[in-house]
Amino acid sequence: MLILQNITYTLPNRDLLFSNISLTLNPQDKIALIGKNGVGKSTLLRLINCEVFPIEGKLHLEAHPYYLPQVYGQFNHLTIAEALGVKERLAAFHAILAGDGSEENYAMLDDDWTIEERCEAALNYWQLTDLQLDQKLETLSGGQKTRVLLAGISIHEPLLVLMDEPSNHLDTAGRELLYQFIQSTSSSLLIVSHDRKLLNHLPVICEMKKDGITTYGGNYDFYREQKEIELKALNQDVQNKEVSLRKARKKKRETKERQQKLDSRGKKKHLKSGTPRIMMNKLKNDAENTSSKLKNLHNKKIDNISQELRDLRASLPEIDKMKFGFEDSALHRGKVLLEAEGINFNYGKESIWEEDLSFHLLSGQRLALKGLNGSGKTTLIKLILGDFDTQIGKLKRGINRSVYIDQDYSLLDNSLKLYEQAQAFNTSHLQEHEVKIRLSRFLFGKEDWDKSCSALSGGERMRLILCCLTLSKQAPDLIVLDEPTNNLDIQNIEILTKAINQYKGTLLVVSHDERFLEEINIESEIVLT
């Protein structure tokens, strides 16, 4: 079905993106492709779809793939029928039914007499019955666009399907439909995703790095178990190498001390025996040469062990190198931060929610805010944060400080450099070296401090915001996270999870990532209808 052999790809500026990429996809195989952001996963899918081409290696493709990209803006000017590639065929079908049996219409239809039936069934499956095929994609939400393109798989019934982050814009119901489809389809699948629930529906995980792909013969949970085994072995290797380094340094000291004692003893012996000065000088030079050789041997051994230890430590996952620390001293668990009594909000003459909302937020609570697209989640967040005034009901706020972290991490100022941005949050008035130590804890080394915030990846922007929060005088009473995992790779999701679990204040999260919600210990939810 698909064979990649030693594929190498360079960017337009000739920088190497990846090399030695090999992968085989057989009929009905279902494979997940994971890896850090920037490693080239999306580019590899485009390469398989023959949109870009490698500079080395071989690509063997037995079927034209159906490709579901991560971004859909390029389709906004198209109708649904055009985006699905069925407009001309449907037009020919209806023309023939209307009596126009021209050769052109029959050639365009190509005996595909079930085309309209398949379109209807596909749209029904993806719960798009309210859409019309002549409707422009620019009128649809992100989730609807995703469902439309997923419907194309059922319509065209391709042998090979490529998907790039297909669950990103889907709500919970849409994700469940996607998981069911993955289980039931007979098409071969190659899916790039960080959705760990989706990854558990795929029987093979392939981890992509710059210099190759490692295959794990199991789903995501199996992959995590194997990575834990690898990590334990790596940590053991680090510990063993640290022991070897200590022993080598001790051996060097002992050898030096022993040689000094021997030299001193020999010198005294020769002085007593009246050895001529010329012979004494020769013996001294011989002893110094011997000491120098021994020293060089020990130094070489120590240098080799030190380099091996540095290489091993560099192989450790970045999350294991990070240190977190939020100042939570001003947070008082159980304090009432917000009370809502029968609140609602009007856009025009109609209220956004069918029923008025009543709830309260306590310090230390962890809540999920759920609801379909258009249910008013963003409006409620703005009411809670004080950006909107309540039009109906009463809303009492006792929040001293809140932080809203959206999908684009717009808390960051793109005109600032990384170190300047950190200083903007430095209300604790930490010294320059202390700020730079905090940045280093969040994996921003000296080479990163002058980078523009606009040049940071999603994962880097998230880490910078977490770092900035630790620079503030005190932790916020409330942190609101709006789809925080959408633009993150798995490693950065794990970093975010670890950081959030160390925060003791109130957490309000909008997310369709059920596994993330479980791992940050969400206690209750507000559901909007």
**Whether the predicted pLDDT of 419 surpasses 60:** yes
Asked whether 188 and 71 are in contact (CB, 8 A), the reply is: no
Sequence-distant (6+) residues with CB within 8 A of 241 are 305, 308, 309, 312
- Number of helices and strands in the chain (H, E): 16, 19
At 315-371, the pLDDT tens digits run 776 666 666 666 665 667 788 999 999 999 988 778 889 889 999 999 999 999 998
The DSSP letter of residue 139 is G
Asked whether 461 and 418 are in contact (CB, 8 A), the reply is: no
d(CA 370, CA 372): 7
For residue 455, what is the enclosing H or E element? none
Predicted local confidence at residue 441, as pLDDT: 83
Asked whether 1 and 27 are in contact (CB, 8 A), the reply is: yes
Predicted local confidence at residue 320, as pLDDT: 63
> Across all residues in the chain, what is the average pLDDT?
88
Predicted local confidence at residue 268, as pLDDT: 61
Residue 363 has which token pair? 């310090």
* Average pLDDT of the residues in 277-288: 60
Neighbouring CB atoms inside 10 A of 320's CB total 10
Q: Which pLDDT band, with edges at 50, 70 and 90, does 71 fall under?
A: confident
Let me know the angle formed at the C-alpha of 459 by 492 and 512, rounded to the nearest 5 degrees.
65
Angle between helices 142-156 and 115-125 (to 10 degrees): 140
For residue 206, what is the enclosing H or E element? strand 204-209
Asked whether 362 and 337 are in contact (CB, 8 A), the reply is: yes
At 370-390, the pLDDT tens digits run 987 778 898 999 999 999 888
Give just the sign of the alpha carbon dihedral 269, 271, 273, 276: positive
At 435-489, the pLDDT tens digits run 998 898 888 989 999 999 988 888 888 889 988 988 887 788 899 999 888 878 8
d(CA 438, CA 322): 10
Sequence-distant (6+) residues with CB within 8 A of 399 are 337, 338, 386, 477, 478
**Type of residue at 512:** H
Place of tokens 């200083």: 423
Asked whether 491 and 459 are in contact (CB, 8 A), the reply is: yes
Asked whether 453 and 416 are in contact (CB, 8 A), the reply is: yes
**Whether the predicted pLDDT of 287 surpasses 70:** no
Q: Which pLDDT band, with edges at 50, 70 and 90, does 262 fall under?
A: low
d(CA 157, CA 481): 38
**Whether the predicted pLDDT of 527 surpasses 70:** yes
Q: Which pLDDT band, with edges at 50, 70 and 90, does 68 fall under?
A: very high
The DSSP letter of residue 135 is S
Q: Which pLDDT band, with edges at 50, 70 and 90, does 42 fall under?
A: very high
At 475-501, the pLDDT tens digits run 888 999 998 888 788 888 888 898 888
pTM of the model: 0.78
